Structure 1
Amino acid sequence: MSELNKLGLAEARDALRKGEVTSVELTDSCLKAIDEAAALNAFVHKTPEIALERAKAADERIKKGNAPSMCGLPIGIKDLFCTKGVPSQAASRILEGFKPEYESTVSQQLADNGAVMLGKLNMDEFAMGSSNETSVYGNAVSPWRRGNDDAQLTPGGSSGGSAAAVSADLCLAATGTDTGGSIRQPAAFTGITGIKPTYGRCSRWGIVAFASSLDQAGPMTKNVRDAAIMLETMCGHDPKDSTSAELAVPNFEGMLTGDIKGKKIGIPKEYRMDGMPAEIEKLWSEGAEMLKAAGAEIVDISLPHTKYALPAYYVIAPAEASSNLARYDGVRYGHRATLAQGDGITEMYEKTRAEGFGHEVQRRVMIGTYVLSAGFYDAYYNRARRVRTLIKKDFEDVFAAGIDAILTPATPSAAFGLGEMTEADPVQMYLNDVFTVTVNLAGLPGISVPAGLDKKGLPLGLQLIGRPWDEGDLLNTAYALESAAGFVAKPVKWW
């Protein structure tokens, strides 16, 4: 078998079980692809020794039989996950030199199931961004190009390195995290599949926190079946995370029948935004027709508080970030500024944070501190929390009325060029999350499935939103959509 790195998880798993290939061969193929793809800047901490050691152990385990589904499969880990003895910087200068003495629960579960870690992946600093342009490692670059244009495009954010690596076949799959769309938006931009599970389905322990009531880990894969395989390994109750749900994890792959006859799919009228590109509108309509042809019933629905979602999110998320990032003070670990004679602890905090945090993180911390301050707590933060409750109720009402899943666009556009959205107008960048933040505010599962190309040949994704804890049913609906869309496009190799 040639070009083993181009396999998906399910194909590679089956080939490993049949003895047609070894994990060491798979891993070697990915390591070679990573070395040749420096131009994408996707992998920022390579771990070839760990990878080959785990691959050898996986081969032994497979020989003995009864190896778990993820055993022997090479994957990338987003730099937000703490990995024992391996730099875990959250793409920030303030965590320079930090090598945790422990493993995040999700990466530990993947390792316990035999998955092979190839290294750590680029991302926006502390997961704050929609384009992977806020990273201390520099920009991650999409493997896709607009026709014959050489302009570098964003792979999306904050899980941009994960998206670029999976799309360019540097790894078979990758972990991502999603606070306001950071799995689904980059998946849509790069023509891959990304699922954010229900809040509480995956443990947050050992994942560097951005906004604790919104963050959730999930897989970024080459197709829906692979997402089902990897998600099952990542999920499960964790006593170390008080928000982790004590629920059994179903066999998600076993639920992929593709049969969605009689399912009710909601189309929310509030997602028809002013200025939405005609291509996105057309793709959305085509997606609804595909699901209808597969036997689903298409129902127009209303989610009336949608227009308040983005402002509420950009109050709640920075508020939680301001609280979470207070721990980075230069005292215990990470970067500490050089102090002048006579400087005290206040100067140390100020200088360390000024040097250690990038502009976007500083901006969000300041917004968060402002909305939590004495005079503004009720006016902003409490009001945003009330709006969040109303958004959650909108979804509850729709699901109570018998809707099984909701179909929306994943992003308001195809991938844009790096540097095209300037720092002068951060709100323009924040609008990228317009279709995805509601899902985080309501704690629901959402998946992005590649469904077509725009006129410049760039991928476009559709999003399906499911009932809480019903990832199996959501994945099955996504599987039906994927089968109907028949998306097989890959980026033309230029790197």
Structure 2
Amino acid sequence: MASQPHELTLAEASAAIARRRISPVEYLDALRARFDALEPRLNTTILPLWDDAREDAKKAGRRIARSGPRSPIDGLPIGLKDIIDLAGQVTTCHSRHLLDNRKTADAAVVTKLRAAGAVFPAKLATHEFAIGGPAFDLPFPPARNPWNTAHHPGGSSSGSGSSVGAGILPAALGTDTGGSIRHPASHCGIVGMKATYGLVSRRGVFPLAFTLDHVGPMTKDVASNAMLLGVIAGHDAEDPGSAARRAENYGRHMKKGLKGLTIGFVRHFHEADQPATPEISAALETAAKLLAKEGVKMKIVTLPSLNEFAGVNRAILLSEAAAIHGRWLRDTPEGYSDLTRKRLAPGLFVRAEDYVQAQRRRRELIAAVEDAFAGVDLLLTASSMDPACRIDDPAAVEITYPRQARTPFNVTGHPALTLMCGLSKEEGLPLALQLVGRFFEEATIYRAAAAYERAAPWKDLRPAP
């Protein structure tokens, strides 16, 4: 067991509670003390719900004492990005437009978590409507990076990444339309999974782009991520984009090691398309060598350029977002932060022809990635091309969003996971790699990620208190 409760991963906390080494209430109280100490600097939370969560943790403790845990996450706290509905609470989307948006029903993922016994201590900060950025002209301040509060935590699931990275929560849910789980996971030194499109229901989650949106787990480690995905995955007949798939034991191969796997290294993403900083390039090369040492066969794989994927994503995202935000943009544009308004407004001018052509090109890009998987089990790519920038540098913040290799797999819908692969030399900020799998082969991604995590020296590194 870790020396302090806040250092436990979700999987470790699950085992500790099942063995009666700590109660759900004791665990939650330790995390609340961590929150009280760090929140004034980190701004992770829109709506703190610790008192409600404590009552639920008491009930879970009595239930566990009586008959044992009902699931691996029984009594455990899970944070919710504040575009995910929680019955009886407001979903603000970090926007003044929705300050009174009180919900009467849980999102589908919350229903599953609640049935498994999870408790909910916080609705977490996000970029406004999951697209804005770290804006300073909203009712809530932007979340900050737990490794250095002067720096950007990534977005848009910024509060989710910051709270898990800081040890305030062992796990949180984020959403991902162009990389918004994997960006903060990369910058905050944690594990973020965007599963196959449709594997996790989006019902009860405020949409950004209907055909690109995903919901997924953000955790300190790979085993916890696989465990949490197993709770929230599965078909939802009320989500039009839901896949007809049942949840699985996604961690079933995590102890198998890497022998027999072939990984395609997509070097041109970070060498030519969006050239990465030298230390990120070096970290990726080191990771590839370590994977090979552990038994992987490495191949070089070429895909269409990042610019093509980004153009398709942008045309689709802006068009679909305009369908959601058009009335507000026309009637009450002052309700948005300046940054959000600037990002959403171009969608009003995208032509139907452009949207249709982007969807046609999308099918070709999916086919190109599928062709690449004919010869490999997984892809290895960069995540971000730079370490986290300063949060108060608008120009640097602006370029952090295009300088990445996450968006291709929102366009194609393939599952993709990011995890830490180093620290920057100057600021000691996390660097990350990305592993991408075939459709619905999340278990293979977790197998490789767990093997890398065991072999690499990064798993137990955490930001200073």
CA contact (8 A) 1:124 1:135 kept: no
Amino acid at match of 2:48: K
Quote the Cα distance in structure 1 between the aligned partners of 2:140 and 2:195: 28
**Aligned twin of 1:20:** 21
CA contact (8 A) 2:154 2:183 kept: yes
Quote the Cα distance in structure 2 between the aligned partners of 1:33 and 1:240: 38
Q: TM-score, normalised by structure 2?
A: 0.94
User: Which deviations, in whole Å up to 9, do the C-alpha atoms of 1:128-166 show, x marking residues without a partner?
Assistant: 046576864111111112xxxxx7111110011111100
User: In the alignment, is residue 440 of structure 1 matched against residue 438 of structure 2?
Assistant: no
CA contact (8 A) 1:132 1:160 kept: no
Query: Match of 1:315, SS?
Result: helix
CA contact (8 A) 2:133 2:339 kept: no
**Aligned twin of 2:50:** 48
State how 1:67-146 maps to structure 2 within 5 Å: 67-129=70-132, 131=134, 136-145=139-148
User: In the alignment, is residue 186 of structure 1 matched against residue 161 of structure 2?
Assistant: no
**1:411–1:225 Cα change, 3 Å:** same
Amino acid at match of 1:196: K
**Aligned twin of 2:463:** 491
Quote the Cα distance in structure 1 between the aligned partners of 2:463 and 2:34: 14
User: In the alignment, is residue 299 of structure 1 matched against residue 278 of structure 2?
Assistant: no
Amino acid at match of 2:172: A
Query: Match of 2:244, SS?
Result: coil
Query: Match of 1:126, SS?
Result: helix
User: Displacement of 1:169 after TM fit?
Assistant: 0.6
**Aligned twin of 1:177:** 175
User: Displacement of 1:43 after TM fit?
Assistant: 1.3
Quote the Cα distance in structure 2 between the aligned partners of 1:305 and 1:367: 23
Amino acid at match of 2:406: T
**Aligned twin of 1:341:** none
User: Which deviations, in whole Å up to 9, do the C-alpha atoms of 1:435-494 show, x marking residues without a partner?
Assistant: 00001000011000111111121110110011110111111111111112220221112x
Quote the Cα distance in structure 1 between the aligned partners of 2:306 and 2:382: 14
CA contact (8 A) 1:267 1:301 kept: yes
User: Displacement of 1:290 after TM fit?
Assistant: 1.2
Quote the Cα distance in structure 1 between the aligned partners of 2:443 and 2:139: 37
Quote the Cα distance in structure 2 between the aligned partners of 1:366 and 1:137: 22
Amino acid at match of 1:264: T
Amino acid at match of 2:394: M
Quote the Cα distance in structure 2 between the aligned partners of 1:246 and 1:312: 26
**Aligned twin of 1:249:** 247
User: Which deviations, in whole Å up to 9, do the C-alpha atoms of 1:11-44 show, x marking residues without a partner?
Assistant: 1111111111100111111112112222100012
User: Displacement of 1:390 after TM fit?
Assistant: 2.0
**Aligned twin of 2:337:** 358
Quote the Cα distance in structure 1 between the aligned partners of 2:383 and 2:139: 27
User: Which deviations, in whole Å up to 9, do the C-alpha atoms of 1:327-360 show, x marking residues without a partner?
Assistant: 659xxxxxxxxxxxxxxxxxxx62xx22322223
User: Which deviations, in whole Å up to 9, do the C-alpha atoms of 1:306-331 show, x marking residues without a partner?
Assistant: 331112212111111010224659xx
**Aligned twin of 1:406:** 379
**1:62–1:80 Cα change, 3 Å:** same
Which segments of structure 1 move beyond 6 Å, counting only runs of 4 or more?
none
Amino acid at match of 2:395: T
CA contact (8 A) 1:128 1:134 kept: no
Quote the Cα distance in structure 1 between the aligned partners of 2:137 and 2:189: 22
**Aligned twin of 1:234:** 232
**Aligned twin of 1:161:** 159
Query: Match of 2:401, SS?
Result: helix
User: In the alignment, is residue 283 of structure 1 matched against residue 286 of structure 2?
Assistant: no
User: Displacement of 1:200 after TM fit?
Assistant: 0.2
Larger radius of gyration: 1
Quote the Cα distance in structure 1 between the aligned partners of 2:184 and 2:256: 25
Quote the Cα distance in structure 1 between the aligned partners of 2:462 and 2:249: 29
State which of 463, 480, 485 in structure 1 corresponds to 2:434: 463
**Aligned twin of 2:423:** 453
User: Displacement of 1:98 after TM fit?
Assistant: 1.1
User: Which deviations, in whole Å up to 9, do the C-alpha atoms of 1:258-308 show, x marking residues without a partner?
Assistant: 422111100124312354211111111111111111111101111024331
**1:132–1:394 Cα change, 3 Å:** farther
Structure 2 unaligned spans of 5+: none
Query: Match of 1:116, SS?
Result: coil
Quote the Cα distance in structure 2 between the aligned partners of 1:115 and 1:475: 23
State which of 44, 61, 64 in structure 1 corresponds to 2:63: 61
State which of 376, 385, 392 in structure 1 corresponds to 2:359: 385
Q: TM-score, normalised by structure 1?
A: 0.89
Query: Match of 2:164, SS?
Result: helix
**1:103–1:255 Cα change, 3 Å:** same
CA contact (8 A) 1:167 1:191 kept: yes
Amino acid at match of 2:209: A
Structure 1 unaligned spans of 5+: 146-150, 330-348
**1:473–1:132 Cα change, 3 Å:** farther
CA contact (8 A) 1:124 1:133 kept: no
Report the count of equivalent residues: 458
Amino acid at match of 2:94: A
Moved more, 356-365 or 203-212: 356-365
**1:327–1:61 Cα change, 3 Å:** farther
| Structural RMSD (CA) | 1.9
Quote the Cα distance in structure 1 between the aligned partners of 2:232 and 2:102: 22
User: Displacement of 1:69 after TM fit?
Assistant: 0.6
Quote the Cα distance in structure 2 between the aligned partners of 1:260 and 1:328: 50
Quote the Cα distance in structure 2 between the aligned partners of 1:304 and 1:229: 33
**Aligned twin of 2:445:** 474
CA contact (8 A) 1:78 1:123 kept: yes
CA contact (8 A) 2:306 2:405 kept: no
CA contact (8 A) 2:386 2:400 kept: no
